[in-house]
Structure 1
Amino acid sequence: MRIFDISRKLQTGMPVWLGDTPFQYDVSSTTTGDTTVNVGSLILSAHAGTHVDAPFHFDPNGKKIIDLDPGLYVGPARVVDMTNKARIGVKELENINFDGVQRILLKTLAWKNPAQFPGEIPYLEPNLAPFLATKGVRLIGLDVPSVDPLDSEDLPAHKSLNENGIHILESVILDEVEPGDYELIALPLPLVEGDGSPVRAILRCHER
């Protein structure tokens, strides 16, 4: 069985949303001091690197991370090629076979330089969510930092996905992953007040 790690590395200097908390890892005690172990501490945004959004992120009455079913983030997933698309709507996905698929990951390859936050991304059209809901999709993931345009204030795709029972995984890395079927594991932390959570996302597949 082959495993693809589709998570972005969490490290000092990594790109984050403008105005968001920079990632920081510090070793607060070390074996070279007067302790027998190395102990580190983290400062980071709930949306650092590869992460999931909870509805509370954009809806003050929405569910928080702790309220979400962990099963959403584990199970069969289909990677779909969406390279060279400026936006992604029903037209781009209407010919995809969704039989038995509850999780889809869109491979856009639009985040060219992982050391820099992208200036522009392909985004989801709000009418995509009700279409996906009729197909039984419960989770959508992208290899860019948002399902909406980066300058969006109303977040129509976030809201439409939520209204249609579809959850969000953002900033995965799919460069080395071919379109097809896999098993996704991308569990969020059990954050009681969380509007989002970093995840260690992997795809598993049997060797073809």
Structure 2
Amino acid sequence: MIIDISRKLNSKTPTWPGDTSFSYQLTWSKEETGSVNVGQITSSCHTATHVDSPFHFNSSGLTIDQLPLELFVGNALVVDVSFKDVVRVEDFEMVDLSGVRRVILKTNAWVDPEHFPESIPTLDPELGQLFREKGVELLGVDLPSVDPLDSKTLDTHHSFEENGVHILEGLQLAHVEPGEYRLTALPLAIDGADGSPVRAILETLE
């Protein structure tokens, strides 16, 4: 079974305050061309469900087209951390991360999909070292950021980069049960970009 964990892109899709809102409109209609409808989109690279490249927060970091695609396809473990103000290393003491390359955190903190959240849980930067030690290379969240919304230092972003952990943000996980799935969340091949929207799905394992 395929489970769509992407946030929908439309005129009501919230984006980071001050960033470019998403829009779609027809450049040409079938009535005008006589054959086809042709549309155009305008969007931030970080709207809804998206991948951050290290270049987003490090001017010498890898851009989105330089990231290995195998990061974004393969088995992933969904971990429920709902109702936690801070997600810490201790929260994984009872989680078996053996052989887990991709972890997805379900916080349930982004309640209204049409409004940008006023606050989100904090992810302890020390998680970066834990994930490196366990072999985790991708961390997905149902939040617009892995750092506090008012952070300027982006400590968790930098910790993840230093420990080889890549970032998938803005997932929709309210309908997903904890457990192991197969993830597909491929970013677009945008040359030199700081991020990319993705269509993220989970597939149940038999």
Structure 2 residue 170 is matched with structure 1 residue 179? no
* Structure 1 residue 94: Cα displacement: 2.2
Aligned to 2:32: 33
Contact 2:182 2:205 in 1 (8 A): no
1:123-142 matched pairs, under 5 angstroms: 123-142=122-141
Structure 2 residue 9 is matched with structure 1 residue 45? no
Tell me the distance in 1 between the aligned counterparts of 2:86 and 2:118. Answer: 15
Aligned to 2:115: 116
Structure 2 residue 16 is matched with structure 1 residue 17? yes
Aligned to 2:106: 107
Question: After superposition, what is the alpha-carbon deviation per residue over 1:177-201, rounded to whole angstroms, capped at 9, x for unaligned?
Answer: 1000000000000011110000000
Question: After superposition, what is the alpha-carbon deviation per residue over 1:12-68, rounded to whole angstroms, capped at 9, x for unaligned?
Answer: 131000110011101011112233100000100001110000000000000001110
Secondary structure in 2 matching 1:188: coil
Contact 2:82 2:109 in 1 (8 A): yes
* Structure 1 residue 87: Cα displacement: 1.0
Aligned to 1:190: 189
Structure 1 residues not aligned, in runs of 5+: none
Q: Figure out how many residues of one structure are paired with residues of the other and give that number.
A: 206
Contact 2:180 2:205 in 1 (8 A): no
1:21-100 matched pairs, under 5 angstroms: 21-100=20-99
TM-score normalised over the length of structure 1: 0.97
Contact 2:105 2:141 in 1 (8 A): yes
Root-mean-square deviation over aligned CA pairs? 0.8
Tell me the distance in 1 between the aligned counterparts of 2:103 and 2:8. Answer: 22
Tell me the distance in 1 between the aligned counterparts of 2:150 and 2:182. Answer: 33
Structure 2 residues not aligned, in runs of 5+: none
2:90 corresponds to which letter in structure 1?
A: K
Tell me the distance in 2 between the aligned counterparts of 1:176 and 1:71. Answer: 25
1:186 corresponds to which letter in structure 2?
A: A
Aligned to 1:168: 167
2:14 corresponds to which letter in structure 1?
A: P
TM-score normalised over the length of structure 2: 0.98
Contact 2:71 2:138 in 1 (8 A): yes
Tell me the distance in 1 between the aligned counterparts of 2:97 and 2:120. Answer: 24
Aligned to 1:153: 152
2:67 corresponds to which letter in structure 1?
A: L
Percentage identity across paired residues of the two chains = 50
Tell me the distance in 2 between the aligned counterparts of 1:184 and 1:146. Answer: 19
1:11 corresponds to which letter in structure 2?
A: N
Tell me the distance in 1 between the aligned counterparts of 2:111 and 2:67. Answer: 32
Question: After superposition, what is the alpha-carbon deviation per residue over 1:99-122, rounded to whole angstroms, capped at 9, x for unaligned?
Answer: 110000000100010010000001
Secondary structure in 1 matching 2:158: helix
2:148 corresponds to which letter in structure 1?
A: P
Tell me the distance in 1 between the aligned counterparts of 2:5 and 2:180. Answer: 15
Aligned to 1:199: 198
